[in-house]
Structure 1
Amino acid sequence: MHGIPKGLLFAIYYPIIATIGVPANFAVIVILCRSKCGLSRCIIYYLVSMAVTDLLLIISAVILNRITGIYFPFSYFSITPICSLRIAVIYAAIDSSAWLTVAFTFDRFVTICCSKVAAQYCRKKRTAWIIGTICMLSCLRNSFLYFIFEPLYIINNVGWFCRIKLTYYTSPAWAIYDWLLVILTPCFPFILILLLNALTIRHILAANRARKRFRTPNNGEKQSDTEMEKRRKSIVLLFAISGSFILLYTLYFMTIVYVRIVNVSYFTGSDVSETTFSLEEIGYMLQLSSSCVNPFIYAGTQSKFRMELKNGLTYPCSLIVKLFE
């Protein structure tokens, strides 16, 4: 970020994320809810729920927090109660998005690697129950964040902006809560997705070797494997979603853990604190950008999704043509 003023970078970057992310995730929700993409209902449930949480994250974290803070710093969204509520909603959306990605990865792991129990596990009601539980627990866990802030300024008996209370740093209970937040998100989701993907890849490689030996005839000619071809798109979708999550969350994961362990203070003015602050901000930027990446993954890996998207984009034009015929 050297050579470019940080404020200018943020003022350009976050509006771009909002401009791309809001319509992209809204389009995903509409297209997937039509159930014409050739995906199972369980996959659709996960992808729609992930799109909803990503849309909520863009609205709360990017539009109402970053963009509003840059362009309208003294709006009503900066009043302390609203500021506290906004932060709690942001972290609840981050939690939900991360753990829904874990749930989707685990669902695909069961389908690919545990075929005997897949039929019992991958059901619509169970998937809806898992999604609802994740969202409810995320909201409950982060609701306590509302109570850790106090006004930064008091103007005409009205509290403005948010400042963490000193008791949050000195109370053992709040210290435990803070570490639980870090462990539950992003540590556990990051580690679980890495582990599940590693196990899935190992199973796929072993299965491919076994199927090649079984299906290759004595004359050495290979036969087409329709079953593996049918599962290929699902596997590509899984690795694309979980891979982008790992890639975009890596710096966020590393800096947030480092800040907690080293107990870095940004108010010392040292080069170390300045560098850590810059890395953490870049980590937040990458992490927030993950909320608008999935729609492009769906368009790149699912031909039927691209077809539905194309039909949706061309429908208004065809409607106008018909009106003037």
Structure 2
Amino acid sequence: MAENSTLSMKDFPNYLASVNIWKYLSPCLIIVGTFANILSIIVLLRKSMRNSTTMFYLTILAFGDLSVLYTGLLRQWLRHAFDIDLRSFSNFGCKLHVFLVYFSLDFSTWILVAVTIDRCISVCLPFKSKDYCTMKHAKIAVTSICFLLCALNGHLFGTVALDGNKGCYGISSFILSVWPWIDLCAFCIGPFAVMMVCNIFIIRQIVMSNKRIESHKDPVSRNLKIELPIPSTSSAHRNGHVPKTNGRHSKNKRRLRKISHVTIMLLTVNIVYFTCTLPIAIYLIGYKFWVPGASSERRAALDLVWAISNFLQYTNNTIHFFMYCLTSPKFRKELSNLFDVKHKHVEFEPSAAYHQDKAKVTKF
């Protein structure tokens, strides 16, 4: 024990592992996340996609993910790889950067909540969705989220300051004791609870709709008690009386399938979000119990936990594009169309030989 007490935190393998995570994995996430989110924005802004409120929210989410990567993760990479801390330049810079990190993380989270609520209304209240799920209301929702999050995180300009010895840290008991719990509710548990309730309603509605569609699938068999001659399919077509039930059934099935694909996509994004953000929220709550007075070895282990928790959090802001590709056929189709050059037709004037050959064929 005496030998360990003479060692600093930097002498333990756990600390070196945490530094390597920041140094070498952070730029990978930044590069992949940048290209993935930009590609998401390009696909979501295509003509066939941009009229949907869901795609509007997902576009805003991609911008939010980019801001998270370039406010939070970029600072950590510069600090560990080049010993440059963006928060150490000035006291105001310290306050502003902390505010931007919390704001961007919360903004991405609540945009995800907004798109889930939007889908819930569209699926569960299809007749009212035309009034509520409009582009105008979506823009109002995004603006309202911005104002509310500014109010929620505005205290950081007064509760955080630059300390010459410690760096940019909290200077009040509120941010050390109370704020982590508020942040846990506002950033992790609260949003996830709302998203899960909405997804439960969506799934329930899809199951009920599927049962209704299946029950209307064969209307003839349900009306056998009516003793009327039922024309055969061929005679019905000859007389021009084509039953519309099958066409309507197919249309409903296609609509339900489309809703199911979007639901699977959002449910996947919601679950990955909760899995990736819960560890960092728990760490911030336990910080005041674990870190003060800890031995160098334990602090090195906690530093590794901190690095892994952050890495998971920023991974959530990196992989949305890949989740869209895996779970949304429409997104895959638009992505394929974006890079597909086969649809570009080249017009040409047929040669004289072509006309001569065609004339020979028509003569015989």
Q: Does 1:300 align with 2:326?
A: yes
Q: Name the SS of the counterpart of 2:290 in structure 1.
A: coil
Structure-1 separation of matches of 2:65 and 2:218: 45
Secondary structure, counterpart of 2:294 in structure 1: coil
Could you list the runs of 5+ residues in structure 1 that have no partner in the other structure? 155-159, 319-325
1:112-167: per-residue Cα shift (whole Å, max 9, x none)?
A: 1122321211111111100111122213321321322233326xxxxx831221xx
SS in 1 for 2:155: helix
Which residue matches 2:240? none
Offset at residue 111 of structure 1 (A): 0.7
Per-residue CA distance 1:224-265 (angstroms, 9 max, x = gap): 632232342343233323423323433532552475379523
Indicate conservation of the 8 Å contact 2:41/2:59, yes or no. Answer: yes
Does 1:34 pair with 2:36? Answer: no
Return the alpha-carbon distance in structure 2 between the equivalents of residues 119 and 186 of structure 1. Answer: 30
Corresponding position of 1:44: 55
Select between 39-48 and 75-84 the one with higher mean Cα deviation: 75-84
Q: Displacement of 1:213 after TM fit?
A: 1.8
CA distance in 2, matches of 1:239, 1:78: 43
CA RMSD for the aligned pairs? 3.3
Distance in 1 of aligned mates of 2:87 and 2:162: 13
1:265 aligned residue:
290
| Separation of aligned partners in 2, 1:47 and 1:281 | 28
Name the CA distance, whole Å, in 1 between partners of 2:55 and 2:141. 14
Residue pair 2:18, 2:308 contacting (<8 A) in 1 also: no
How far residue 93 of structure 1 moved from its aligned partner, in angstroms, is 0.7
Q: Structure 1 residues 74 and 278, CA, compared in 2 at 3 Å: closer, same or farther? A: closer
What is the number of equivalent residue pairs in this alignment?
Answer: 304
Q: 1:207 is matched with which residue: 206, 209, 214?
A: 209
Is 1:291 aligned with 2:320? Answer: no
The 3-state SS of whatever aligns with 1:264 is: helix
Code of the aligned partner of 1:70: H
The partner residue of 2:83 within 60, 73, 93 is: 73
How far residue 20 of structure 1 moved from its aligned partner, in angstroms, is 0.7
Letter in 2 for 1:137: L
Check 1:102–1:18 CA distance in 2 against 1; reply closer, same or farther (3 A cut).
same
What one-letter code is carried by the residue in structure 1 that aligns with 2:214? K
Match of 2:168 in 1: 162
- Answer with 1 or 2: which has the greater Rg: 2
Matched, 1:62 2:73: yes
C-alpha distance 269-203 of structure 1, shift in aligned 2 (>3 A): same
Q: What is the alpha-carbon distance in structure 2 between the residues aligned to residue 61 and residue 239 of structure 1?
A: 29
Q: Return the offset for 1:314.
A: 6.8
Distance in 1, matches of 2:41 and 2:85, equals 31
Q: Deviations over 1:155-196 (max 9, x none)?
A: xxxxx831221xx22x5x985555333322222101111121
Task: Pick from 260, 266, 271 the counterpart of residue 241 of structure 1.
Answer: 266
**What is the Cα deviation at residue 94 of structure 1?**
0.8
What is the match of residue 157 of structure 1? none
Larger RCO of the pair (alpha carbons < 8 Å, separation 6+): 2
**What is the match of residue 347 of structure 2?**
none
Partner of 1:183: 185
SS in 2 for 1:179: helix
* SS in structure 1 at match of 2:100: helix
Overall identity of the aligned pairs, in %: 21
Q: Is the 8 A contact 2:41 2:62 kept in 1?
A: yes
Query: 1:26-83 CA distances to partner (integer Å, 9 max, x unpaired)?
Result: 222233223233x6431222111111111111111112x2211122223555324323
Provide the rounded CA distance (Å) in 2 between the counterparts of 1:121 and 1:234: 18
TM-score, L = length of structure 2: 0.72
TM-score after normalising by structure 1 = 0.80
Give ranges in structure 2 of 5+ residues lacking alignment.
Answer: 1-12, 223-244, 345-364
- The corresponding residue for 1:23 is 35
Aligned equivalents of 1:250 and 1:152: distance in 2? 34
* Paired position in structure 1 for 2:138: 127
Aligned to 1:100: 111
1:13 is matched with which residue: 2, 8, 25?
25
Change (3 A) 1:119 1:92: same
Measured in 1, the distance between the counterparts of 2:283 and 2:85 equals 33
Q: Distance in 2 between matches of 1:287 and 1:311?
A: 32
Matched, 1:114 2:139: no
